[in-house]
Chain A
Amino acid sequence: MATVVTEAVTAQDYEQLRRLLAVTDAGLAQLDVDELLAELTLRTRELMGTDTAAILLLDSSGRELVAVAASGLEEEVRQGIRIPVGEGFAGKIAATGEPLIIDHVDHSPVVNQSLIDEHLAVMAGVPITAAGQILGVLHVGSRVPRRFSVGDIDLLRLVADRAGMAAQARQSRLERQTTVALQRSLLPARAPHVPGFDVAARYVPGAEVGVGGDWYDLFVLPSGHIGVVIGDVVGNGLRAAVVMGRIRSALRAYALETTDPADVLTRLDRKIQFFEPGAMATAAYAVIDPTGTTLTVSMAGHLPPILIEADGARVLATPADLPLGAYPNAPRRTTEAALPEGLLLYTDGLVERRDRPLPEGIAELVASLRADTADELCARATAVLHHKPATDDVAVIALRRSRHLALR
Protein backbone atom coordinates (compact mmCIF):
# COMPACT_ATOMS: atom_id res chain seq x y z
CA MET A 1 0.00 0.00 0.00
CA ALA A 2 2.64 2.46 1.08
CA THR A 3 4.78 1.59 -1.92
CA VAL A 4 1.87 2.16 -4.28
CA VAL A 5 1.20 5.59 -2.79
CA THR A 6 4.86 6.56 -3.13
CA GLU A 7 5.09 5.50 -6.76
CA ALA A 8 1.79 7.03 -7.70
CA VAL A 9 2.91 10.39 -6.36
CA THR A 10 6.42 10.27 -7.76
CA ALA A 11 5.49 10.86 -11.40
CA GLN A 12 3.17 13.63 -10.35
CA ASP A 13 5.83 15.07 -8.08
CA TYR A 14 8.26 15.30 -10.93
CA GLU A 15 5.89 17.70 -12.60
CA GLN A 16 5.40 19.54 -9.32
CA LEU A 17 9.14 19.87 -8.76
CA ARG A 18 9.67 21.15 -12.24
CA ARG A 19 6.94 23.76 -11.83
CA LEU A 20 8.10 24.74 -8.41
CA LEU A 21 11.71 25.17 -9.49
CA ALA A 22 10.63 27.36 -12.36
CA VAL A 23 8.44 29.49 -10.15
CA THR A 24 10.94 29.97 -7.37
CA ASP A 25 13.95 30.58 -9.58
CA ALA A 26 12.14 33.35 -11.41
CA GLY A 27 10.75 34.56 -8.11
CA LEU A 28 14.15 34.75 -6.43
CA ALA A 29 15.31 37.13 -9.08
CA GLN A 30 12.25 39.36 -9.16
CA LEU A 31 10.53 39.35 -5.78
CA ASP A 32 11.79 40.75 -2.55
CA VAL A 33 12.25 38.28 0.27
CA ASP A 34 8.86 38.74 1.93
CA GLU A 35 6.98 38.54 -1.36
CA LEU A 36 8.93 35.45 -2.27
CA LEU A 37 8.07 33.67 0.99
CA ALA A 38 4.39 34.53 0.48
CA GLU A 39 4.57 33.23 -3.08
CA LEU A 40 6.18 30.01 -1.86
CA THR A 41 3.36 29.31 0.60
CA LEU A 42 0.73 29.99 -2.05
CA ARG A 43 2.40 27.67 -4.56
CA THR A 44 3.01 24.96 -1.98
CA ARG A 45 -0.64 24.98 -1.03
CA GLU A 46 -1.71 24.74 -4.67
CA LEU A 47 0.81 22.08 -5.63
CA MET A 48 0.03 19.86 -2.67
CA GLY A 49 -3.70 20.52 -2.58
CA THR A 50 -3.64 21.46 1.10
CA ASP A 51 -5.81 24.05 2.85
CA THR A 52 -2.96 25.87 4.55
CA ALA A 53 0.76 26.49 4.11
CA ALA A 54 2.84 28.63 6.42
CA ILE A 55 6.43 29.73 6.89
CA LEU A 56 7.71 30.66 10.35
CA LEU A 57 11.22 31.99 10.92
CA LEU A 58 13.26 32.11 14.10
CA ASP A 59 13.59 35.60 15.56
CA SER A 60 16.97 37.09 16.46
CA SER A 61 16.91 35.45 19.90
CA GLY A 62 16.61 32.05 18.24
CA ARG A 63 14.04 31.06 20.85
CA GLU A 64 10.78 31.95 19.11
CA LEU A 65 9.29 31.31 15.70
CA VAL A 66 7.42 34.14 14.02
CA ALA A 67 4.87 33.52 11.27
CA VAL A 68 6.15 35.55 8.29
CA ALA A 69 4.16 34.13 5.36
CA ALA A 70 1.05 31.99 5.03
CA SER A 71 -1.60 30.91 2.63
CA GLY A 72 -4.87 29.86 4.28
CA LEU A 73 -3.59 30.98 7.68
CA GLU A 74 -3.07 34.65 6.86
CA GLU A 75 -4.46 35.71 10.21
CA GLU A 76 -1.46 34.11 11.92
CA VAL A 77 0.87 36.37 10.00
CA ARG A 78 -1.25 39.48 10.57
CA GLN A 79 -1.25 38.80 14.28
CA GLY A 80 2.47 38.06 14.23
CA ILE A 81 1.92 34.77 16.03
CA ARG A 82 5.00 33.72 17.98
CA ILE A 83 5.65 30.11 18.92
CA PRO A 84 8.39 29.15 21.39
CA VAL A 85 10.90 26.62 20.04
CA GLY A 86 10.01 23.20 21.44
CA GLU A 87 6.32 23.99 21.81
CA GLY A 88 3.49 23.25 19.42
CA PHE A 89 3.78 21.60 16.04
CA ALA A 90 6.16 24.12 14.45
CA GLY A 91 8.11 24.56 17.67
CA LYS A 92 8.81 20.86 17.83
CA ILE A 93 10.12 20.76 14.25
CA ALA A 94 12.40 23.73 14.97
CA ALA A 95 13.68 22.00 18.12
CA THR A 96 14.38 18.62 16.54
CA GLY A 97 15.27 19.69 13.00
CA GLU A 98 13.25 16.72 11.72
CA PRO A 99 10.13 16.55 9.51
CA LEU A 100 6.92 15.85 11.40
CA ILE A 101 3.54 14.49 10.31
CA ILE A 102 0.43 14.53 12.49
CA ASP A 103 -2.47 12.34 11.36
CA HIS A 104 -5.02 13.48 13.96
CA VAL A 105 -4.57 17.13 14.78
CA ASP A 106 -7.43 17.28 17.31
CA HIS A 107 -5.88 14.52 19.43
CA SER A 108 -2.30 15.65 19.30
CA PRO A 109 -0.70 17.27 22.31
CA VAL A 110 1.83 19.14 20.18
CA VAL A 111 -0.63 21.35 18.34
CA ASN A 112 -1.43 24.89 19.40
CA GLN A 113 -5.03 26.02 19.62
CA SER A 114 -5.04 28.21 16.52
CA LEU A 115 -4.44 25.18 14.29
CA ILE A 116 -7.32 23.28 15.94
CA ASP A 117 -9.50 26.37 15.43
CA GLU A 118 -8.75 26.08 11.72
CA HIS A 119 -10.27 22.57 11.86
CA LEU A 120 -7.15 21.04 10.40
CA ALA A 121 -7.23 17.25 10.36
CA VAL A 122 -3.68 16.45 9.29
CA MET A 123 -0.42 18.41 9.16
CA ALA A 124 3.06 17.97 7.79
CA GLY A 125 6.08 20.19 8.32
CA VAL A 126 9.81 20.36 7.67
CA PRO A 127 12.60 22.52 9.09
CA ILE A 128 13.98 25.40 7.03
CA THR A 129 17.76 25.23 7.19
CA ALA A 130 20.74 26.91 5.62
CA ALA A 131 24.38 25.96 6.14
CA GLY A 132 23.33 23.39 8.74
CA GLN A 133 21.54 25.97 10.85
CA ILE A 134 17.81 25.87 11.55
CA LEU A 135 16.22 29.11 10.41
CA GLY A 136 12.53 28.24 10.62
CA VAL A 137 9.71 25.86 9.72
CA LEU A 138 7.48 25.28 6.72
CA HIS A 139 4.23 23.44 7.35
CA VAL A 140 1.04 22.51 5.49
CA GLY A 141 -2.35 21.42 6.82
CA SER A 142 -5.48 19.81 5.41
CA ARG A 143 -9.04 19.93 6.77
CA VAL A 144 -9.84 16.58 5.18
CA PRO A 145 -7.95 13.48 6.26
CA ARG A 146 -5.16 12.48 3.85
CA ARG A 147 -1.84 10.73 3.88
CA PHE A 148 1.36 12.65 3.26
CA SER A 149 3.69 10.59 1.09
CA VAL A 150 7.48 10.53 0.95
CA GLY A 151 7.14 12.60 -2.20
CA ASP A 152 5.11 15.21 -0.30
CA ILE A 153 7.85 15.54 2.30
CA ASP A 154 10.49 15.80 -0.44
CA LEU A 155 8.50 18.57 -2.05
CA LEU A 156 8.23 20.40 1.28
CA ARG A 157 11.97 20.02 1.76
CA LEU A 158 12.60 21.53 -1.64
CA VAL A 159 10.39 24.52 -0.89
CA ALA A 160 12.10 24.82 2.51
CA ASP A 161 15.50 24.97 0.77
CA ARG A 162 14.30 27.86 -1.37
CA ALA A 163 12.81 29.58 1.65
CA GLY A 164 16.06 29.00 3.54
CA MET A 165 18.12 30.75 0.91
CA ALA A 166 15.73 33.69 0.94
CA ALA A 167 15.59 33.80 4.74
CA GLN A 168 19.34 33.72 4.97
CA ALA A 169 19.63 36.55 2.45
CA ARG A 170 17.15 38.55 4.51
CA GLN A 171 19.02 37.80 7.74
CA SER A 172 22.43 38.68 6.35
CA ARG A 173 21.07 41.84 4.72
CA LEU A 174 19.59 42.91 8.05
CA GLU A 175 22.80 42.11 9.89
CA ARG A 176 24.93 43.90 7.32
CA GLN A 177 22.75 47.01 7.49
CA THR A 178 22.87 46.98 11.29
CA THR A 179 26.64 46.49 11.32
CA VAL A 180 27.24 49.31 8.87
CA ALA A 181 24.91 51.62 10.82
CA LEU A 182 26.72 50.79 14.06
CA GLN A 183 30.12 51.30 12.45
CA ARG A 184 29.07 54.67 11.04
CA SER A 185 27.81 55.84 14.41
CA LEU A 186 31.07 54.81 16.09
CA LEU A 187 33.47 56.00 13.42
CA PRO A 188 32.47 59.56 12.63
CA ALA A 189 33.41 60.52 9.09
CA ARG A 190 34.46 63.98 10.27
CA ALA A 191 37.35 63.96 12.70
CA PRO A 192 36.92 66.11 15.81
CA HIS A 193 38.66 69.46 16.09
CA VAL A 194 41.95 69.24 17.97
CA PRO A 195 43.81 72.44 18.84
CA GLY A 196 47.17 72.66 17.04
CA PHE A 197 46.57 69.61 14.86
CA ASP A 198 44.97 68.70 11.61
CA VAL A 199 43.21 65.31 11.88
CA ALA A 200 41.81 62.82 9.36
CA ALA A 201 40.75 59.17 9.30
CA ARG A 202 39.65 56.53 6.80
CA TYR A 203 37.82 53.24 7.04
CA VAL A 204 37.80 50.74 4.13
CA PRO A 205 35.64 47.58 4.46
CA GLY A 206 37.44 44.38 3.44
CA ALA A 207 36.69 42.47 0.24
CA GLU A 208 36.31 39.16 2.08
CA VAL A 209 35.15 40.14 5.53
CA GLY A 210 33.02 43.22 4.77
CA VAL A 211 32.66 45.43 7.79
CA GLY A 212 34.88 44.13 10.55
CA GLY A 213 36.03 45.16 13.97
CA ASP A 214 38.54 47.88 13.08
CA TRP A 215 38.09 51.16 14.90
CA TYR A 216 39.80 54.45 15.60
CA ASP A 217 39.12 57.22 18.05
CA LEU A 218 40.55 60.57 18.99
CA PHE A 219 39.72 62.87 21.90
CA VAL A 220 41.06 65.79 23.89
CA LEU A 221 41.22 65.12 27.64
CA PRO A 222 40.39 67.73 30.32
CA SER A 223 44.13 67.99 31.05
CA GLY A 224 44.78 69.03 27.46
CA HIS A 225 46.34 65.70 26.55
CA ILE A 226 45.22 64.24 23.22
CA GLY A 227 44.34 60.55 23.07
CA VAL A 228 44.59 58.71 19.73
CA VAL A 229 43.72 55.06 19.35
CA ILE A 230 43.38 52.51 16.61
CA GLY A 231 42.42 48.89 17.04
CA ASP A 232 41.20 45.70 15.48
CA VAL A 233 38.70 43.42 17.21
CA VAL A 234 39.13 39.78 16.14
CA GLY A 235 36.23 38.58 14.01
CA ASN A 236 33.86 40.45 11.75
CA GLY A 237 30.25 41.36 11.25
CA LEU A 238 27.79 42.54 13.84
CA ARG A 239 29.33 40.73 16.81
CA ALA A 240 32.78 42.25 16.24
CA ALA A 241 31.23 45.70 15.74
CA VAL A 242 29.30 45.44 19.01
CA VAL A 243 32.40 44.37 20.96
CA MET A 244 34.34 47.15 19.26
CA GLY A 245 31.75 49.70 20.46
CA ARG A 246 32.12 48.54 24.05
CA ILE A 247 35.93 48.52 23.93
CA ARG A 248 35.93 51.99 22.43
CA SER A 249 33.71 53.39 25.22
CA ALA A 250 35.69 51.65 27.95
CA LEU A 251 38.98 53.01 26.62
CA ARG A 252 37.58 56.56 26.71
CA ALA A 253 36.52 56.04 30.33
CA TYR A 254 39.96 54.78 31.40
CA ALA A 255 41.65 57.57 29.42
CA LEU A 256 39.92 60.05 31.75
CA GLU A 257 41.54 58.36 34.75
CA THR A 258 45.16 58.18 33.67
CA THR A 259 47.34 59.58 30.89
CA ASP A 260 49.75 56.63 30.91
CA PRO A 261 48.83 54.55 27.81
CA ALA A 262 50.08 51.25 29.29
CA ASP A 263 47.95 51.89 32.37
CA VAL A 264 44.86 52.58 30.23
CA LEU A 265 45.40 49.40 28.19
CA THR A 266 46.01 47.34 31.35
CA ARG A 267 42.65 48.47 32.77
CA LEU A 268 40.95 47.92 29.42
CA ASP A 269 42.48 44.43 29.16
CA ARG A 270 41.20 43.52 32.62
CA LYS A 271 37.72 44.73 31.69
CA ILE A 272 37.72 42.68 28.47
CA GLN A 273 39.01 39.54 30.23
CA PHE A 274 36.20 39.79 32.75
CA PHE A 275 33.23 41.15 30.81
CA GLU A 276 33.97 39.97 27.25
CA PRO A 277 35.50 36.53 27.74
CA GLY A 278 36.61 35.15 24.40
CA ALA A 279 36.99 38.59 22.81
CA MET A 280 40.39 39.64 21.58
CA ALA A 281 41.63 42.87 20.05
CA THR A 282 44.84 44.53 19.04
CA ALA A 283 45.26 48.22 19.78
CA ALA A 284 47.74 51.08 19.58
CA TYR A 285 47.03 53.85 22.08
CA ALA A 286 49.00 57.10 21.95
CA VAL A 287 48.82 60.14 24.20
CA ILE A 288 50.19 63.51 23.11
CA ASP A 289 51.08 65.91 25.92
CA PRO A 290 49.31 69.31 26.17
CA THR A 291 52.27 71.12 24.58
CA GLY A 292 52.01 68.84 21.54
CA THR A 293 55.69 67.91 21.64
CA THR A 294 55.85 64.54 23.38
CA LEU A 295 54.19 61.27 22.51
CA THR A 296 53.70 58.27 24.76
CA VAL A 297 52.39 55.07 23.26
CA SER A 298 51.51 51.52 24.31
CA MET A 299 51.00 48.69 21.84
CA ALA A 300 48.74 45.68 22.37
CA GLY A 301 49.67 43.21 19.62
CA HIS A 302 49.45 46.01 17.08
CA LEU A 303 51.79 47.05 14.27
CA PRO A 304 54.11 50.00 15.06
CA PRO A 305 53.03 53.65 14.67
CA ILE A 306 54.55 55.86 11.99
CA LEU A 307 55.98 59.28 12.80
CA ILE A 308 55.57 61.97 10.18
CA GLU A 309 58.58 64.22 9.74
CA ALA A 310 59.10 67.38 7.73
CA ASP A 311 60.68 65.47 4.83
CA GLY A 312 59.19 62.01 5.13
CA ALA A 313 58.19 59.41 7.68
CA ARG A 314 59.67 56.67 9.85
CA VAL A 315 58.52 53.77 11.97
CA LEU A 316 58.53 54.43 15.70
CA ALA A 317 60.34 51.46 17.24
CA THR A 318 57.98 50.32 19.99
CA PRO A 319 57.93 46.95 21.69
CA ALA A 320 54.50 45.35 21.29
CA ASP A 321 52.84 43.67 24.26
CA LEU A 322 50.12 41.02 23.97
CA PRO A 323 46.74 41.82 22.39
CA LEU A 324 43.86 42.79 24.69
CA GLY A 325 41.99 39.74 25.94
CA ALA A 326 44.81 37.38 25.01
CA TYR A 327 46.15 36.55 28.43
CA PRO A 328 45.36 37.51 32.04
CA ASN A 329 47.57 40.21 33.59
CA ALA A 330 49.81 40.61 30.56
CA PRO A 331 52.57 43.13 31.36
CA ARG A 332 52.34 46.38 29.35
CA ARG A 333 54.93 49.01 28.48
CA THR A 334 54.80 52.66 27.48
CA THR A 335 57.28 54.10 24.98
CA GLU A 336 58.03 57.83 24.97
CA ALA A 337 59.21 59.79 21.95
CA ALA A 338 59.42 63.34 20.69
CA LEU A 339 56.52 64.05 18.34
CA PRO A 340 57.80 65.45 15.03
CA GLU A 341 55.29 66.81 12.48
CA GLY A 342 52.66 64.14 12.91
CA LEU A 343 51.56 60.59 13.63
CA LEU A 344 49.85 57.88 11.61
CA LEU A 345 48.22 54.75 13.07
CA TYR A 346 46.84 51.95 10.89
CA THR A 347 45.47 48.41 11.06
CA ASP A 348 47.20 45.34 9.62
CA GLY A 349 44.93 45.08 6.58
CA LEU A 350 46.82 48.05 5.13
CA VAL A 351 50.22 46.37 4.94
CA GLU A 352 49.59 42.63 5.08
CA ARG A 353 50.03 40.76 1.81
CA ARG A 354 50.40 37.06 1.17
CA ASP A 355 53.15 37.53 -1.39
CA ARG A 356 55.37 39.93 0.49
CA PRO A 357 57.18 40.08 3.83
CA LEU A 358 55.42 42.33 6.34
CA PRO A 359 58.41 44.69 6.85
CA GLU A 360 58.33 45.38 3.09
CA GLY A 361 54.68 46.37 3.35
CA ILE A 362 55.42 48.73 6.23
CA ALA A 363 58.44 50.14 4.35
CA GLU A 364 56.28 50.81 1.29
CA LEU A 365 53.75 52.62 3.44
CA VAL A 366 56.44 54.73 5.11
CA ALA A 367 57.98 55.62 1.74
CA SER A 368 54.62 56.85 0.43
CA LEU A 369 53.99 59.22 3.33
CA ARG A 370 54.97 62.77 2.60
CA ALA A 371 52.18 65.26 2.80
CA ASP A 372 51.04 68.61 4.02
CA THR A 373 47.69 67.67 5.51
CA ALA A 374 46.28 64.80 7.55
CA ASP A 375 43.78 64.11 4.81
CA GLU A 376 46.57 63.74 2.26
CA LEU A 377 48.38 61.38 4.62
CA CYS A 378 45.30 59.15 4.83
CA ALA A 379 44.83 59.30 1.07
CA ARG A 380 48.44 58.30 0.42
CA ALA A 381 48.30 55.57 3.05
CA THR A 382 45.19 53.94 1.59
CA ALA A 383 46.62 54.36 -1.93
CA VAL A 384 49.08 51.54 -1.18
CA LEU A 385 46.03 49.25 -1.26
CA HIS A 386 45.51 49.86 -4.95
CA HIS A 387 48.07 47.24 -5.84
CA LYS A 388 45.62 44.61 -4.69
CA PRO A 389 42.22 44.71 -3.02
CA ALA A 390 42.54 44.18 0.72
CA THR A 391 40.78 41.11 2.05
CA ASP A 392 40.69 42.48 5.59
CA ASP A 393 39.11 45.79 6.57
CA VAL A 394 41.45 48.75 6.97
CA ALA A 395 41.45 51.76 9.28
CA VAL A 396 43.88 54.69 9.26
CA ILE A 397 44.05 57.79 11.46
CA ALA A 398 46.51 60.64 10.99
CA LEU A 399 47.39 63.77 12.94
CA ARG A 400 49.53 66.51 11.48
CA ARG A 401 50.74 69.63 13.19
CA SER A 402 48.77 72.60 11.86
CA ARG A 403 50.79 74.72 9.46
CA HIS A 404 50.86 78.47 9.71
CA LEU A 405 49.13 79.33 6.51
CA ALA A 406 50.05 82.59 4.85
CA LEU A 407 47.27 85.16 5.00
CA ARG A 408 45.65 85.75 1.70
Chain B
Amino acid sequence: MQVSVASRRDGAAVVLVVSGDIDVTSAPALEGAIRRAVTTTGLELVQVDLSEVDFLDSSGISSLLLGRRGADERGVAFRVTGAHGIARQVLELTGVWEHLSGDSDASQPTPT
Protein backbone atom coordinates (compact mmCIF):
# COMPACT_ATOMS: atom_id res chain seq x y z
CA MET B 1 0.00 0.00 0.00
CA GLN B 2 1.18 3.48 -0.83
CA VAL B 3 1.19 6.54 1.29
CA SER B 4 2.18 10.01 0.17
CA VAL B 5 3.17 12.89 2.37
CA ALA B 6 2.96 16.47 1.12
CA SER B 7 4.76 19.06 3.21
CA ARG B 8 3.56 22.65 3.50
CA ARG B 9 5.70 25.16 5.38
CA ASP B 10 4.00 28.14 6.98
CA GLY B 11 6.45 30.28 8.93
CA ALA B 12 7.58 28.32 11.97
CA ALA B 13 5.01 25.58 11.34
CA VAL B 14 4.94 22.72 8.89
CA VAL B 15 1.86 20.74 7.91
CA LEU B 16 2.34 17.20 6.64
CA VAL B 17 -0.67 16.19 4.59
CA VAL B 18 -0.73 12.41 4.53
CA SER B 19 -2.83 10.47 2.04
CA GLY B 20 -3.36 6.78 1.47
CA ASP B 21 -3.20 3.78 3.77
CA ILE B 22 -0.74 3.61 6.66
CA ASP B 23 0.25 0.02 7.41
CA VAL B 24 3.36 -2.06 8.07
CA THR B 25 4.72 -1.41 4.57
CA SER B 26 4.02 2.32 4.36
CA ALA B 27 4.56 3.37 7.99
CA PRO B 28 8.37 3.75 7.58
CA ALA B 29 7.78 6.41 4.89
CA LEU B 30 5.51 8.36 7.24
CA GLU B 31 7.96 7.95 10.09
CA GLY B 32 10.80 9.29 7.90
CA ALA B 33 8.72 12.29 6.75
CA ILE B 34 7.81 13.16 10.35
CA ARG B 35 11.42 12.78 11.49
CA ARG B 36 12.67 15.07 8.73
CA ALA B 37 10.04 17.68 9.63
CA VAL B 38 10.72 17.49 13.36
CA THR B 39 14.48 17.89 12.89
CA THR B 40 14.14 20.89 10.56
CA THR B 41 15.81 23.86 12.20
CA GLY B 42 13.65 26.75 13.30
CA LEU B 43 10.35 24.88 13.39
CA GLU B 44 8.00 25.31 16.33
CA LEU B 45 5.06 23.17 15.22
CA VAL B 46 4.67 19.99 13.20
CA GLN B 47 1.11 19.17 12.28
CA VAL B 48 0.22 15.81 10.75
CA ASP B 49 -3.01 16.05 8.78
CA LEU B 50 -4.69 12.64 8.41
CA SER B 51 -7.89 13.84 6.71
CA GLU B 52 -6.93 11.95 3.53
CA VAL B 53 -5.97 8.74 5.34
CA ASP B 54 -8.42 5.86 4.95
CA PHE B 55 -6.64 3.19 6.97
CA LEU B 56 -4.16 3.14 9.81
CA ASP B 57 -2.89 0.17 11.82
CA SER B 58 -0.61 -0.34 14.83
CA SER B 59 2.55 0.39 12.84
CA GLY B 60 1.01 3.74 11.85
CA ILE B 61 0.21 4.47 15.48
CA SER B 62 3.81 3.78 16.48
CA SER B 63 5.06 6.11 13.70
CA LEU B 64 2.90 8.91 15.09
CA LEU B 65 3.91 8.19 18.70
CA LEU B 66 7.60 8.15 17.75
CA GLY B 67 7.00 11.46 15.97
CA ARG B 68 5.46 12.98 19.08
CA ARG B 69 8.37 11.70 21.21
CA GLY B 70 10.96 13.07 18.78
CA ALA B 71 9.17 16.42 18.67
CA ASP B 72 9.11 16.66 22.46
CA GLU B 73 12.81 15.91 22.67
CA ARG B 74 13.45 18.91 20.41
CA GLY B 75 10.91 21.20 22.02
CA VAL B 76 8.73 21.20 18.91
CA ALA B 77 4.95 21.11 19.28
CA PHE B 78 3.34 18.11 17.57
CA ARG B 79 -0.30 17.75 16.62
CA VAL B 80 -2.24 15.15 14.67
CA THR B 81 -5.41 16.42 13.05
CA GLY B 82 -8.17 15.31 10.70
CA ALA B 83 -8.25 11.61 11.64
CA HIS B 84 -11.62 10.11 10.74
CA GLY B 85 -13.23 6.75 10.04
CA ILE B 86 -11.06 3.66 10.66
CA ALA B 87 -7.98 5.74 11.49
CA ARG B 88 -9.84 7.74 14.14
CA GLN B 89 -11.41 4.59 15.66
CA VAL B 90 -8.04 2.87 15.97
CA LEU B 91 -6.46 5.94 17.58
CA GLU B 92 -9.33 6.26 20.06
CA LEU B 93 -9.66 2.56 20.91
CA THR B 94 -5.95 2.27 21.65
CA GLY B 95 -6.05 5.35 23.87
CA VAL B 96 -3.56 7.49 21.93
CA TRP B 97 -5.84 10.03 20.23
CA GLU B 98 -5.81 12.56 23.06
CA HIS B 99 -2.05 12.25 23.36
CA LEU B 100 -1.52 12.85 19.64
CA SER B 101 -4.16 15.49 18.98
CA GLY B 102 -3.71 17.48 22.17
CA ASP B 103 -1.18 20.04 23.23
CA SER B 104 2.46 18.90 23.16
CA ASP B 105 2.74 19.52 26.92
CA ALA B 106 1.96 16.06 28.29
CA SER B 107 1.05 17.28 31.76
CA GLN B 108 -1.64 19.53 30.32
CA PRO B 109 -3.70 17.41 27.95
CA THR B 110 -6.06 19.64 26.01
CA PRO B 111 -9.69 18.61 26.37
CA THR B 112 -11.25 18.01 23.00
Instruction: Using CB atoms and an 8 Å cutoff, list the residues of chain A in contact with chain B.
Output: 208-209, 232, 234, 236, 278, 280, 282, 299, 301-304, 319-323, 326-330, 348, 352, 354, 356-359, 391-392
Cβ contacts under 8 Å, A234 to chain B: 58-59, 62
Cβ contacts under 8 Å, B93 to chain A: 303-304, 320, 358-359
A320 touches B95 (CB 8 A): yes
Instruction: State whether the Cβ of B61 lies closer than 8 Å to any Cβ in chain A.
Output: yes
Cβ contacts under 8 Å, A322 to chain B: 65, 95-96, 99
Listed A/B pairs (9) with beta-carbon separation below 8 Å: A280-B62, A282-B94, A299-B95, A301-B95, A323-B61, A327-B99, A328-B106, A357-B86, A359-B93
Closest to B57 in A: A352
Interface string of B28-72 (1 = CB under 8 A from A): 000000000000000000000000001101110110011011001
Report the minimum CB–CB distance from B71 to chain A (whole Å).
11
Knowing A234-B59, A303-B93, A303-B94, say if A357 contacts B85 (CB, 8 Å): yes
Report the minimum CB–CB distance from B70 to chain A (whole Å).
10
20 further A-B pairs in the complex, CB-CB below 8 A; given A327-B65, A327-B106, A352-B90 = A234-B59, A278-B66, A280-B65, A302-B94, A303-B93, A304-B93, A320-B95, A322-B99, A323-B65, A323-B96, A326-B99, A327-B72, A330-B106, A348-B57, A352-B58, A354-B23, A354-B54, A358-B89, A359-B89, A392-B57
A326 touches B85 (CB 8 A): no
Knowing A234-B58, A282-B58, A320-B95, say if A208 contacts B24 (CB, 8 Å): yes
A358 touches B55 (CB 8 A): no
Instruction: State whether the Cβ of B110 lies closer than 8 Å to any Cβ in chain A.
Output: no
B86 touches A358 (CB 8 A): yes
Closest to B94 in A: A301
A327 touches B59 (CB 8 A): no
B89 touches A323 (CB 8 A): no
Report the minimum CB–CB distance from B77 to chain A (whole Å).
15
Interface string of B4-39 (1 = CB under 8 A from A): 000000000000000001011100000000000000
Closest to B66 in A: A280
Closest to B1 in A: A354
B95 touches A327 (CB 8 A): no
Cβ contacts under 8 Å, A302 to chain B: 94
Closest to B98 in A: A322
- Within 8 Å by CB of A236, from B24, B61, B68, B72, lies B24
Cβ contacts under 8 Å, B21 to chain A: 354
Q: How far apart are the CA atoms of A320 and B90 in the complex, in Å?
A: 11
Report the minimum CB–CB distance from B100 to chain A (whole Å).
10
A319 touches B57 (CB 8 A): no
Q: How far apart are the CA atoms of A328 and B99 in the complex, in Å?
A: 12
Q: How far apart are the CA atoms of A348 and B65 in the complex, in Å?
A: 17
Cβ contacts under 8 Å, A329 to chain B: 106
4 closest A-B pairs by beta carbon, nearest first, are A320-B95, A234-B62, A326-B65, A358-B89
Q: How far apart are the CA atoms of A304 and B59 in the complex, in Å?
A: 18
Report the minimum CB–CB distance from A303 to chain B (whole Å).
6
A348 touches B58 (CB 8 A): yes
- Within 8 Å by CB of B23, from A282, A320, A391, lies A391
Closest to B25 in A: A208
A357 touches B99 (CB 8 A): no
Knowing A320-B93, A352-B57, say if A392 contacts B62 (CB, 8 Å): no
B24 touches A392 (CB 8 A): yes
Q: How far apart are the CA atoms of A236 and B85 in the complex, in Å?
A: 27
A323 touches B62 (CB 8 A): yes
A326 touches B58 (CB 8 A): no
Cβ contacts under 8 Å, B85 to chain A: 357
Report the minimum CB–CB distance from B25 to chain A (whole Å).
7
Knowing A299-B95, A320-B95, say if A327 contacts B24 (CB, 8 Å): no
A357 touches B89 (CB 8 A): yes
Closest to A299 in B: B95
B94 touches A323 (CB 8 A): yes
B58 touches A232 (CB 8 A): yes
